[in-house]
Structure 1
Amino acid sequence: MATLIKNAKILEAEQLTTQDILIENGLIKAIGHDLNQQYGPADHVICAADRFVTPGLVDVHVHLRDPGLTEKETIETGTMAAAHGGFTTIGAMPNVDPVPDTPAKIALMVAENQTKAHVHVEQYASITTDRTGDELVDFDGVKKAGAFAVSNDGSGVQTAGTMYQAMCGAAEAGLTLAAHVEDDSLTMGGVMNAGPVADKLGLPGIMGISESSQIARDVLLAEASGVHYHVCHVSTAESVRVIRDAKRAGINVTCEVSPHHLLLTDADITMDNPMLKMNPPLRSPKDRAALIAGLLDGTIDMIATDHAPHTDAQKQGSMKTAAFGITGLETAFATLYTALVKTKLLTLGQLVDLMSTKPAQLFGLTHAGRLAPGQPADLAIIDLAHEYEIKADEMVSKGHNSPFIGWHVYGNVLMTLVDGQVVYGKDQQA
């Protein structure tokens, strides 16, 4: 069956050009003009009406909460939220119950993802048994069972010896090690960024060096082990500086930044508000400026949402007791396009590169991140022209714990296709 997307706006060297996209058997067959004349009539036509068509977005940092925490999210709801946000490939973190720390558990999760997901799901295994211990997983075994990378996300690996051994094992197995960087001895039970705002609100603070000091340790271990070391959700100026220096030294380190750290700072926390509680916390305006600079000079390689849904009850009350984390899949593109592209801090091409092409390239996802003949027909159709309001009742994630509800933004995802099939669409004619 052939599908033709008519009048799509496609980026070519930072210029939007109008072309058609022909899809056949789940793949992009051709991109160009007068495709009906070359290949005959299509079975199905989608009129893009000069809306932007991007390669499907790629998010290497998502919490699906399934199995064991399905009151927060499920494979079905989380991957539909991904599709709603224009994402066609996501990486599912291992802080679920049970933790996928054996080949058998990974194989089961991979099978569940393939059966229940609306988009492509790449599955993380944990670095250590039960994710918080010191006993290493069978790296070769979990890779053969389907893991695409390893991470203890939600917990930093506290001892250098464990991390070095893990890096050696991951390197030997050919797995990327994605690190939640946090020295527990420096977090001091904090719930937001340490500094004047926390002091004013009477809330305990998390020092930035709890993150940057562990990165400084890890980049030297990565150099010694040869692993591809990926830093999750970078949030401080010092972290950016350490990673920049490591890259200049030739160490195989990549990193991501989350949308909320690019869009908000602790100055936006004017009261005890659990919707603004996440880990790492919102940092200072100086840190935000350093993150933007890191995007622009290539120190920061990609954007990843750290989509972390919770129930309404878990995000109520005080920041002292509420859960860490916010959702991100359904708001990421629009908020970033509005705040960074429309203000000319980034180009549209740079944003697509950071949210699709680069994460796919750096994590070896050859099936993702490119809009080209022969590639899987994973793409999103997006309205860049009209403003809309982010509303909780229009979200499909179980979690509505987002500080962006009520924001007026541009970049509304109208339709998402995975392997040529519409998995999300507000209007079948786009």
Structure 2
Amino acid sequence: MSRHENKSLLIKGGHVIDPAAKINAPMDVLLREGRVAEVAPPNKIRGSADEKFDARGLIVAPGFIDLHVHLREPGQVYKETVASGTAAAAVGGFTSVCTMPNTAPVVDTPEWVVWLRSPERGAVVNVFPVAAATRSSRGATLTDFSALQRAGAVAVTDDGKPILDEEVMRMALRLGAELNFPVVQHAEDTRLTENCHMNAGPTSFRLGLRSMPASAEAAIVDRDVTFAQQIRESRLHVAHLSTSDALKAVRRGKRAKARVTCEVTPHHFTLIDENVGEYNTHCKMNPPLRSAVDREAILVALTDGTVDAIATDHAPHALHEKQVEFERAAFGVTGLETALALAITKLHREHRIPLTRIVELFTAGPARVFHLHGRGSLARGNHADVTLFDPKKHWTFDAAKSRSLSRNTPFDGWQLTGKVVATIVGGKIVYRAE
């Protein structure tokens, strides 16, 4: 059966949380021919369905969207593939993922965008390519934004590297403004972080590691928010924000009505630099784990609306790239299968952030950032992408059972609360918990 086969599915007995539609109530949901046909109070949907799903005790939400995933294709298939990465995404409740272009070769042409979207890649969830902003992500010459957009790219970025040159960044924002096309910045002044390995602080001093100052992130965000205020129709999205001062700059842009958005990751709202412990390479990522003060600032920003989306920055690496000295270890951690559980465990249960807000950060928020029309809500006629989860389910994450090809996670063995029960893409159940 193809994902979009004309088939109806009735989800009964669940509690729908759809922030975009302002629904937080017991509802039944009817999916038909790959679209949302009806959302109605219990037992009010008339007519039959080909299949029924008993959602009693579950939250029924719009399909989760991850704005920041590294699927590693083309060229790095020993770390991950589109097929394996999207299988992990489905386990985590993600019905759509936006894949980064820092592959080998770099996704900087329309042909590579089309290649990533081909059914031959074996994706089980929707894949939206984010293309390179500059040729080969070298930060010098802009790519053909218009051609990339026509091919299906939803944004551009040189993620993994910043666009450091001021004039190149201005030109990118101007061109993005003309096309209503988001420019995503990896905010890091690499002149301050070259050959550095973790956040600057007492832990890096104790371990004797060259460190990355928080100012390296904040300076780029402050600069780019100023550019976005000056180039009024531009769309600046700041990836994986991790510092208090960078969040202050985003707030400034939002107050000035600039089109500035940002995302944060589960590892940054859960862990701090002290978790590196004794050179734990599974706690090495870029941006690095920050101070407790920075984590607290992230929690405030998640609550007050500064942050638009939770994104995983899922960055798989092979075992041999992590089981080395800390200085030689690759930056990055996996995150697709633990994102929701970390959000419920840390944000909802520990910090009392409402479940409605958490769902918004996985659904309506990211859909707005990249203008993913017909997604992020269960409104009638939207794509039949649905995530069902049990917010009270206690479980232990076992990295050995991950669907990803890689196991570089700091959360192996963690006891978590909140588990995805089923993931539906285009009306088809692509994952169902055992």
Same fold (TM over 0.5): yes
- CA offsets 1:95-150 (integer angstroms, 9 cap, x no match): 111112122332222335x7521111111110100012401101111111211100
Query: In terms of mean alpha carbon deviation, does 55-64 or 365-374 score higher?
Result: 365-374
Match of 2:280 among 243, 268, 273: 273
Distance 1:267 1:15, change over 3 A: farther
Which residue in the other structure is 2:391 paired with?
384
Match of 1:243 among 250, 259, 262: 250
Residue 37 of structure 2 corresponds to residue 29 of structure 1: yes
Which residue in the other structure is 2:157 paired with?
151
Residue 231 of structure 2 corresponds to residue 196 of structure 1: no
Deviation at 1:38, TM superposition (A): 5.0
Residue 51 of structure 2 corresponds to residue 44 of structure 1: yes
For residues 402-413 of structure 1, the aligned pairs below 5 Å read: 402-413=409-420
Q: Which residue identity does 1:174 align to in structure 2?
A: N
Match of 2:177 among 164, 171, 175: 171
Deviation at 1:65, TM superposition (A): 0.2
Structure 2 segments unaligned to the other structure (5+ residues):
1-6
Which residue in the other structure is 1:57 paired with?
64
Other structure's SS at 1:150 match = strand
Distance 1:25 1:193, change over 3 A: same
Match of 2:104 among 97, 103, 128: 97
Contact conserved, 1:10 with 1:18, CA < 8 A, in 2? yes
Distance 1:295 1:38, change over 3 A: closer
Distance 1:18 1:247, change over 3 A: closer
For residues 331-350 of structure 1, the aligned pairs below 5 Å read: 331-350=338-357
Which residue in the other structure is 2:376 paired with?
369
> 1: distance between equivalents of 2:62 and 2:413?
27
Q: Which residue identity does 1:256 align to in structure 2?
A: E
> 2: distance between equivalents of 1:397 and 1:359?
23
Contact conserved, 2:18 with 2:61, CA < 8 A, in 1? no
Q: Which residue identity does 2:397 align to in structure 1?
A: I
For residues 197-212 of structure 1, the aligned pairs below 5 Å read: 197-212=203-218
Contact conserved, 1:101 with 1:129, CA < 8 A, in 2? yes
- CA offsets 1:24-70 (integer angstroms, 9 cap, x no match): 111222223465x7532222122123211111111110000011001
> 2: distance between equivalents of 1:401 and 1:173?
37
> 2: distance between equivalents of 1:3 and 1:111?
26
Other structure's SS at 2:129 match = strand
Residue 27 of structure 2 corresponds to residue 19 of structure 1: yes
Q: Which residue identity does 1:244 align to in structure 2?
A: R
Contact conserved, 2:12 with 2:42, CA < 8 A, in 1? no
Other structure's SS at 1:320 match = helix
Deviation at 1:377, TM superposition (A): 1.5
- CA offsets 1:322-366 (integer angstroms, 9 cap, x no match): 000001110000011011111243100000011111110221111
Residue 13 of structure 2 corresponds to residue 7 of structure 1: yes
What's the TM-score, normalizing by structure 1? 0.95
Which residue in the other structure is 1:323 paired with?
330
> 1: distance between equivalents of 2:301 and 2:197?
25
Match of 1:85 among 86, 92, 103: 92
Which residue in the other structure is 2:76 paired with?
69
Query: In terms of mean alpha carbon deviation, does 298-307 or 42-51 score higher?
Result: 42-51
> 2: distance between equivalents of 1:29 and 1:406?
40
Deviation at 1:172, TM superposition (A): 1.7
Aligned residues: 425
Query: In terms of mean alpha carbon deviation, does 87-96 or 369-378 score higher?
Result: 369-378
Deviation at 1:11, TM superposition (A): 2.7
Q: Which residue identity does 2:169 align to in structure 1?
A: M
RMSD (Å), alpha carbons:
1.7
> 2: distance between equivalents of 1:332 and 1:421?
22
Other structure's SS at 2:285 match = coil
Q: Which residue identity does 2:328 align to in structure 1?
A: T
> 1: distance between equivalents of 2:425 and 2:223?
40
Other structure's SS at 2:216 match = helix
Structure 1 segments unaligned to the other structure (5+ residues):
none
Distance 1:5 1:198, change over 3 A: same
- CA offsets 1:271-313 (integer angstroms, 9 cap, x no match): 1110000000000000011111111222221111100011111
> 1: distance between equivalents of 2:326 and 2:307?
29
Deviation at 1:247, TM superposition (A): 1.7
> 2: distance between equivalents of 1:136 and 1:17?
47
> 2: distance between equivalents of 1:383 and 1:231?
31
Q: Which residue identity does 1:276 align to in structure 2?
A: C
Contact conserved, 1:188 with 1:205, CA < 8 A, in 2? no
